[in-house]
Amino acid sequence: MPFAEHPSPETHPEAKRFTAFARVRTPRSGRILARWVGGLSLLVFAAGFLPWTQNIRSTGKLTTLRPQDRPQTVPSTIGGRLKAWYVQEGQLVQKGDTLAEIVEIKEKYFDPLLLERTREQLEAKIAGLRENAAKTQALGSQQDALRLGLQASLAKARNKVRQSDLKVRSDRADLVATRAEYIIAQRQLERQEYLYKQGLKSLTELEQRRLKLQESTAKLLSVQNKLGGSRQDSLSSRIELQSLDAEYADKLAKSESDRRSATGYQFDAEGQIAKMRNELANLSIRAGFYFITAPQTGYVVRALKEGEGEIVKEGEDLVTLMPANPRLAAELYVLPMDIPLLRVGRRVRLQFDGWPALVFTGWPGSSFGTFAGVVQVIDNIDSQGKYRILVTQEPGTEPWPAPLRVGSGVYGWALLDDVPLWYELWRQINGFPPDYVGDVDAYPAGKPTKSGKTAKADKSTGYGTEE
């Protein structure tokens, strides 16, 4: 008979006659185990075709996206002695609130009225500059007067030269006439002497002619001397005319020297005034540095100087301040082999320290206690063999927990393409990297998507969305 029609040991006709038939039978537990193994095998085989989201896992810590939101130390701009604290650790302070006060330790700034005295010195210097400007103007007027005086003196001297020249001409004409009279008198005397020798003239007439000759000679000498004097006067007037230029040039040079000295003093005073104004402004600004104020609203984390009376150096940190409302970002570090798979706008799932979570990295929809984020920044240089990325909260998703603090740990995984589970296991066993695929969740703004549409930039996230 066929194999399927053979009776089982329990139903065999001879089962009651032989006890061996009772011992030869298939155990029931074995059949159950076989069914379970077969069912589990089918389940595992079917599960191998379930979709699995490839991901890049990384760890990091919480930071802030904007540099001004990160913890900062508030330094002392000037050196001094710590006088008083006005805050305590953990206190919320507003922008501009006074944190501490310091006093001077440099003897240059000990004078409590230093600012007022410096202002008085500046005002005195400005007054001296005004007087010097008046002096410079007076010297300029003096030079103008000297130039006018020079013109008048030159005109007077030239007139005198012309008068001297005319007098020389007049004396020269007198000399010519006197010389002619002398020659006539001399000739008349000669004729008188000749006629006297002939007996035609008397001795008296002869003596009169001799006397006339003596008068002509004396007059000739007088006219000659007068002409010489006129010539000397003409020469003196010309010399005087020439000396006027030198005399007034000396006076003008001296006046110009005084004016330039006054101008130089003015420039020097202006430089000193500018320096004093700078010093006054520095003192005014320095007076505002005695009170250390909060640069922004935040919490006082730690005072770096204890007590009062401690010496603070210039630029030394006094207190650490944490901004009140920072824009948090997860700082994750990714291996270089995974960087080509990331781009700005790639979705990321995050798990924060202190928040319990049930994580299925390949099934983000089934995970519990994780939060959504998007890649906002990817560094262009590595940091100790890894690349840093900054992940911010994804708009429109569950907000990140409010009690999160900067510096707490973060575990994240960037979501890539969906592949069958058997393929992911095969890839993991062989050590292959995830598949390099196009980003189906975010598109670069302005570029066509897989569907041929144009990606529109989203200002809130920094990545493109399909139109």
Residue 5 has pLDDT above 60, yes or no: no
**Range name among 41-55, 109-123, 300-314, 352-366 with the lowest pLDDT average:** 352-366
Residue 67 has pLDDT above 50, yes or no: yes
pLDDT of residue 163: 85
Query: Rounded CA gap, 144 and 138, in Å?
Result: 10
pLDDT of residue 9: 54
Residue 448 has pLDDT above 80, yes or no: no
Rama region for 321: left / alpha / beta (φ>0; ψ in -120 to 50; rest): beta
pLDDT of residue 16: 58
Q: How many CA atoms lie within 13 A of 257 on its CB side?
A: 6
DSSP-derived letter for residue 10 is T
Q: What is the mean pLDDT of residues 5-13?
A: 55
Query: Rounded CA gap, 330 and 412, in Å?
Result: 9
Residue 312 has pLDDT above 80, yes or no: yes
Residue 183 has pLDDT above 60, yes or no: yes
pLDDT of residue 2: 45
Q: pLDDT tens, 113-157?
A: 888 888 888 888 888 888 888 888 888 888 888 888 878 887 887
pLDDT of residue 93: 94
Does 250 or 376 have the greater pLDDT score? 376
Residue identified by tokens 């010519």 is 176
Query: Rounded CA gap, 418 and 423, in Å?
Result: 10
Question: For residues 331 and 60, is the Cβ–Cβ distance under 8 A?
Answer: yes
Query: Rounded CA gap, 101 and 85, in Å?
Result: 7
pLDDT of residue 297: 92
Q: pLDDT tens, 365-405?
A: 656 678 889 999 999 888 888 999 999 999 988 899 888 88
The CATH code belonging to domain 114-288 is 1.10.287
pLDDT of residue 437: 54
Share of the chain above pLDDT 90, in %: 13
**Mean pLDDT of all residues in the chain?**
79
| Confidence category of residue 229, pLDDT binned at 50, 70, 90 | confident
Does 238 or 16 have the greater pLDDT score? 238
Q: How many CA atoms lie within 13 A of 302 on its CB side?
A: 5
pLDDT of residue 10: 54
Q: Which fold has domain 52-68+326-466?
A: Elongation Factor Tu (Ef-tu); domain 3 (2.40.30)
The residue extents of the domains of the chain are 1-47, 52-68+326-466, 71-104+290-323, 114-288
Angle at 454 between CA 452 and CA 459, to 5 degrees: 150
Residue 104 has pLDDT above 60, yes or no: yes
Highest mean pLDDT among 28-32, 183-187, 434-438: 183-187
Q: What is the mean pLDDT of residues 324-345?
A: 87
User: In this structure, which CATH number among 3.30.565.10, 3.30.465.10, 2.40.50.100, 3.40.50.2000 belongs to the domain 71-104+290-323?
Assistant: 2.40.50.100
Q: What is the mean pLDDT of residues 403-411?
A: 88
Share of the chain above pLDDT 70, in %: 83
